[in-house]
Amino acid sequence: MNAPNLTINIPKNMRHIDSIFIHCSATPDGRDVTVEQIRKMHLKNGWNDIGYHFVIYRDGSVLPGRPISQIGAHAKGYNTGSIGICYIGGMNKENTKAADTRTPAQQESLIWLVRELIRTFGTMKIYGHNQVSAKSCPCFDVPSWVDQTHLLEPESTPEPEPDEPEPDEPETPVITQEDVNKWVDKWYRNIFKWGKNGTNDTPVDERILRELDRPIERPLEDDYEELDAPEEPGWLEEL
């Protein structure tokens, strides 16, 4: 893509514009024509300068013509509020009839330039010269082209960058009733054992009920010795 070789800034003395007109140079397919050549021709007409504001070369280069702050000379009756763009070409090789000779690079650059103008100056109407004059210029159907290229639709906003993946949060352990039962079982048995050994005078059942605030019905069986080894004495604080 050769197009972005030009920066479009809003001049301080910018006039109001509401439209873009697209033209061709009406020169044979394959022939390069420069801004200077067109300027000379237009000066011969008695004009102040080249009539177009931008010229798109066959290689896709976009060149400035008349300053955009100045009214152009390209579409009779429509120059005041418009910008004129001319692509080089528009006639067949034999120079006998009108032809859409836009090279792929010119097509890309034309889209780029119109988008850039809309981005800079706001939405505008886009016309081919032949829509307001009995001419072939610019030798392609501009309204269909505008539709196909979605030029008047808002440019899609880029997808937001995906968020950084959240660092894995440490999982909060899910405490099931089964876990509670196991703990209670362990407490119960340990406390019972301590009580039995004379290390804790608190009556076992009341103490557990105070901790859990719910009734506990557990048979105190003599097989408690087969469970896990008794915890260290600090077990209650650790739980």
Positions in the binding site for Zn ion (CB under 5 A) = 23, 129, 137
Cα distance between residue 196 and residue 228, in whole Å: 17
User: Burial level of 10, CB count in 10 A (0-12/13-18/19+)?
Assistant: exposed
Catalytic residue selected from 23, 42, 53, 74: 23
Catalytic residue selected from 42, 74, 86, 137: 137
**Positive or negative torsion for Cα 139, 143, 149, 151:** positive
Catalytic residue selected from 125, 135, 186, 193: 135
Cβ 125 to Zn ion, closest distance in Å? 16
Cβ 54 to Zn ion, closest distance in Å? 13
DSSP state of 31: -
Cα distance between residue 148 and residue 134, in whole Å: 24
The residue among 23 and 58 lying less far from Zn ion, judged by its C-beta, is: 23
Q: What is the dihedral of CA 83, 84, 87, 92, to 10 degrees?
A: 150
- Is 23 catalytic? The answer is yes
- Is 129 catalytic? The answer is yes
User: Burial level of 206, CB count in 10 A (0-12/13-18/19+)?
Assistant: exposed
The residue among 3 and 75 lying less far from Zn ion, judged by its C-beta, is: 75
- Is 52 catalytic? The answer is yes
The residue among 66 and 129 lying less far from Zn ion, judged by its C-beta, is: 129
The residue among 76 and 210 lying less far from Zn ion, judged by its C-beta, is: 76
- Is 193 catalytic? The answer is no
Cβ 23 to Zn ion, closest distance in Å? 3
Active site residues: 23, 52, 129, 135, 137
